[in-house]
């Protein structure tokens, strides 16, 4: 399998966590000519990352890739066995993609001092806090978001919350997490398999932010 990825993408890191947790060996590649390029679109029609090529199958979108990997490599399971618990975990994963991650992505350009607008940053931080409060009501946090085992939900939120914390820190609007969220973040960051993936992602985020701050 070939996995097309870029270091700073939290959606790519989301898939990286699944690959690591399941012990799946893939050929990591950067998008040919950069994502969105004609050369890359010849391979991955959407031109986006992450993307996975498995023989004649080409799929993009992190959630689709992770669901495919869960079915292709069912052990260790990252979705609960119980049907209702699986539905809840999928709901939490979609909540990440639709309600939380877009708030962070909208601030990418504001990391550059020349394009920064404090009122936009403050508004997004306020909305993010509201969405994280909702997440606490929806999730179990026992100690992981969907229960007592790492799931697909953790794989999305772990890199995104890491990215958000770093971004808000450099613009002097620190992200203050609740005790429940802090306990979860500590738990996932110290997970023996997730830890090296998140540490590598931290370095990529810090490098990206240094470049943004100097632009």
Q: What is the pLDDT of residues 10-22, one digit of tens each?
A: 999 999 999 999 9
Q: Give the position of tokens 């498995």.
A: 54
Rounded to an integer, the average pLDDT of 81-109 is 98
Report the alpha-carbon distance of residue 30 to residue 57 in Å, rounded. 18
Predicted TM-score (pTM) of the model is 0.97
**What is the C-alpha separation between 37 and 28, in angstroms, rounded?**
18
Q: Is the pLDDT of residue 130 over 90?
A: yes
Task: Kindly report, residue by residue over 72-86, the tens digit of the pLDDT.
Answer: 999 999 999 999 999
Is the pLDDT at 156 greater than 90? The verdict is yes
Q: Which residues contact 100 (CB under 8 A, 6 or more apart)?
A: 128, 131, 132, 135, 157, 160
Which CATH number does 83-213 carry?
1.20.1050.10
* pLDDT tens digits for range 23-59: 999 999 999 999 889 999 999 999 999 999 999 999 9
155, 95 in Cβ contact below 8 A?
Answer: no
- pLDDT for res 182: 98
Q: Where are the domains of the chain?
A: 2-72, 83-213
Query: What pLDDT, on a 0 to 100 scale, did the predictor assign at position 215?
Result: 81
pLDDT at 172: 96
Span 176-199, pLDDT tens digits: 999 999 999 999 999 999 999 999
- What local confidence, expressed as pLDDT, does residue 24 receive? 98
Residue written as token pair 């936009």: 120
Tokens of 74: 């069912």
Instruction: Give the homologous superfamily in CATH for domain 2-72.
Output: Glutaredoxin (3.40.30.10)
């Amino acid at each position: 399998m070939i996995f097309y990825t870029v270091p700073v993408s939290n959606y790519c890191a989301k898939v990286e966590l699944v690959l690591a947790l399941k012990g799946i060996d893939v050929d990591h590649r950067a998008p040919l000519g950069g994502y969105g390029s004609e050369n890359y679109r010849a391979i991955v029609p959407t031109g986006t990352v992450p993307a996975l090529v498995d023989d004649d199958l080409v799929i993009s979108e992190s959630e689709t890739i992770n669901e495919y990997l869960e079915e292709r490599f069912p052990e260790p399971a990252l979705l609960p066995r119980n049907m209702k618990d699986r539905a809840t975990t999928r709901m939490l994963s979609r909540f990440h993609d639709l309600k939380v991650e877009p708030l962070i992505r909208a601030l990418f350009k504001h990391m550059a001092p020349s394009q920064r607008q404090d009122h936009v940053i403050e508004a997004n931080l306020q909305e993010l806090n509201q969405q994280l409060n909702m997440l606490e009501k929806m999730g179990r946090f026992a100690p992981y978001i969907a229960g007592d085992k790492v799931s697909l939900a953790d794989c999305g939120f772990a890199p995104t919350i890491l990215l958000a914390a770093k971004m808000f820190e450099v613009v002097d609007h620190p992200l203050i997490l609740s005790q429940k969220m802090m306990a979860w973040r500590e738990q996932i960051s110290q997970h023996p398999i997730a830890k090296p993936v998140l540490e590598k992602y931290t370095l990529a985020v810090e490098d990206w932010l240094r470049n943004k701050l100097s632009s």
